[in-house]
Amino acid sequence: MRKLSQVLLLLVVFLSFCRITHAQQPDNQQWRNQPITVSYAAGLNSSMHQIIEEFKKAYPQIRVTEDSGGTLLLIRKITELNQSPDLIFVADTLAIKEKLIPAYADWYIKFYKDRIVLAYTDKSRYTNEIDSQNWYKILLRKDVRFGYANPNLAPVGYRTLLCWQLADLFYRDKIEGKSIYAALKDACLAENILPDVAELLHPLESLSLDYVFVYESVAQQHNLKYIRLPKEIDLGSEEMGEFYKQVKVEVISRKSAGKEVVYGAPIAFGLTLLKDAVNVKGATEFIKFFLGSTGQKILKDNYQTMLNPPLAYNSKNLPDELKTLVGSEDTS
């Protein structure tokens, strides 16, 4: 009887110890049962769909909610509508730097570069004539229909306008007394300025449009023909960064009801973790998965080769487990 009492006492002590230990050490796996929300620019649609599906296979307990659209629209949902995804992937790292840091985020990671191209199909008009020198003259023919993304919603839109301004500096041509930029702006019908890069594809493929300005990776993903523009124009060259700075466009800021100036710069896509993220650990695991071998392969298969290494801004603020995966673009 005495031995039985001793055994019961030891069992009670052991169970109490387990309860105390569990209380002192929170369940580090709890994040696996919490959802994450991922917002991403439309130019990443193809890659992100695939990466999210692979992430779900690796972490089946995590429910992933997606939101895709123009970068500026996604950011306005955060800054104006108080919607807070865990993660956001954008088509312009400057949008994070200028609109989300420091109020909504502490850092960003730049992960790949792209360029603006002029895409078309076999059915587009004058494809046997158009090239990297006469493209703007072809677009200005009366029977040619072309479109671009809304510059107030998507970086590919304001980058298209910057591209046209750079064309003025590069070609030094006039069209009936107008600059190339002014002539193209006047010739593009308002109905052909669509919300983002994804929404330009259907009218092009359905022959409603002959030509559209998109990222090169998007043209490649959809097997479109395209004109690669000179590096002085396409915003795809780091070495031309100073040249790009000469041009600027204004975009509407709905929050202030005013306008913001965007200057020419090399195209760079980036990501960040929002300060109000609900599932920080799960979101961090998603970033690790995205930057890892699976994410890299999917990006590459979609013509979006990841930088080696990706570069972090405000790298000191990164979660420790991400610091070994990136380099730093901090200048100080």
With helix as H, strand as E and coil as C, how does 161-177 read?
A: HHHHHHHHHHHCCEECC
Residue 137 lies in a domain: yes
Strand 36-41 vs strand 87-90: parallel, antiparallel, or unpaired?
parallel
**What digits encode the pLDDT tens for the residues 217-274?**
999 999 999 999 999 999 999 999 999 999 999 998 765 557 889 999 999 999 999 9
Residue 257 pLDDT: 59
| 80 and 141 co-located in one domain | no
Give the domain-ending residue among 229, 263, 297.
263
Residue 18 lies in a domain: no
Residue 101 lies in a domain: yes
Give the domain-ending residue among 226, 243, 263.
263
| 235 and 177 co-located in one domain | yes
| 168 and 234 co-located in one domain | yes
Q: Residue 87 forms beta bridges with which residues?
A: 38, 273
Return the beta strands (E) in 30-154 as ranges: 36-41, 64-69, 87-90, 108-113, 116-120, 146-149
Q: Residue 48: exposed, middle, or buried by beta-carbon count in 10 A (0-12, 13-18, 19+)?
A: buried
Give the domain-ending residue among 211, 239, 263.
263
Residue 16 lies in a domain: no
pLDDT for 3 beyond 70 = no
Strand 87-90 vs strand 225-228: parallel, antiparallel, or unpaired?
unpaired
Instruction: Decide: 217 and 301 in contact? Cβ < 8 Å.
Output: no
Residue 16 pLDDT: 46
Tokens found for residue 78: 């955060």
Residue 129 lies in a domain: yes
* 94: nearest Cα among 242, 319, 267: 267
| 70 and 127 co-located in one domain | no
Q: What is the DSSP letter of 102?
A: T
Return the SS3 of 219.
Answer: helix
| 159 and 226 co-located in one domain | yes
Tokens found for residue 256: 């202030």
Residue 222 lies in a domain: yes
> Which of 70-84, 185-199, 247-261, 315-329 comes out lowest in average pLDDT?
247-261
Question: What whole-number distance in Å separates Cα of residue 142 and Cα of residue 139?
Answer: 8
Q: Residue 146 forms beta bridges with which residues?
A: 211
| 184 and 323 co-located in one domain | no
Residue 6 pLDDT: 52
Q: Widest CA span of the chain, in angstroms?
A: 109
Residue 331 pLDDT: 60
Residue 208 pLDDT: 94
Whichever domain contains 124, its CATH number is 3.40.190.10
- Domain count for the chain, please give it: 2
pLDDT for 19 beyond 80 = no
Q: What share of the chain is helix, strand, coil (3-state, %, to 5)?
A: 45, 20, 35
Strand 311-313 vs strand 258-263: parallel, antiparallel, or unpaired?
unpaired
Q: What is the DSSP letter of 124?
A: S
pLDDT above 90 as % of the chain: 83
Residue 303 lies in a domain: yes
Alpha helices in 194-237 (DSSP H): 198-205, 216-221
| 42 and 102 co-located in one domain | yes
| 129 and 235 co-located in one domain | yes
Q: Please provide the average confidence, as pLDDT, over all residues in the chain.
A: 90
Q: Which strand (E) or helix (H) includes residue 283?
A: helix 280-291
Cis peptide before 309 (omega within 30 of 0): yes
Mean pLDDT, range 181-196, rounded to an integer:
96
- List C-alpha distances in Å: 166 to 16, 132, 161: 72, 14, 9
Residue 197 lies in a domain: yes
Instruction: Decide: 239 and 322 in contact? Cβ < 8 Å.
Output: no
Range of the domain at 235: 116-263
pLDDT for 160 beyond 50 = yes
| 51 and 176 co-located in one domain | no
| 120 and 207 co-located in one domain | yes
**What digits encode the pLDDT tens for the residues 93-138?**
999 999 999 999 999 999 999 999 999 999 999 999 999 999 999 9
Instruction: Decide: 39 and 64 in contact? Cβ < 8 Å.
Output: no
| 90 and 56 co-located in one domain | yes
Residue 198 binned pLDDT confidence (cut-offs 50, 70, 90):
confident
pLDDT for 294 beyond 70 = yes
| 139 and 256 co-located in one domain | yes
Residue 254 pLDDT: 62
